[in-house]
Amino acid sequence: MAIARGLDLWAGAESPDSFARPVNGPASALAADLSGDPWRDYHGPVLICGLKLDDAGEEHDVDLTPGQIADLQRRLSRQRAD
């Protein structure tokens, strides 16, 4: 799921036991904060990666840049303070 321009969030929704896992509050809050979409519960571990468009306009997952990592860390620490 694209959560922001250049960011994608992968959750284990395809796993049969994914909803049996606890809600990942930080990932759920981060996705809602970045996307502007209503809150959605994400369960278990998630993966956040960068997105890049190729010349044909197709998206490809890429490593996060140091700036993206720093921004995500700031957002997560701000959410913990709230």
What is the secondary structure of 14-65 as a DSSP string?
TSTTGGGSPB-HHHHHHHHHHH-PPP---BS-EEEEEEEE-TTS-EEEEPPP
Enter the pTM of the model.
Answer: 0.74
**Any idea where the domains of the chain sit in the sequence?**
2-81
Distance CA 79, CA 82 (A): 5
H helix or E strand, kind and range, residue 76: helix 66-81
pLDDT in tens, the chain (82 residues): 888 888 999 887 656 666 678 888 888 989 988 888 888 888 888 999 999 989 998 989 999 999 999 999 998 888 765 5
Long-range pairs for 70-73: beta carbons < 8 A, 24 or more residues apart:
72/30, 72/48
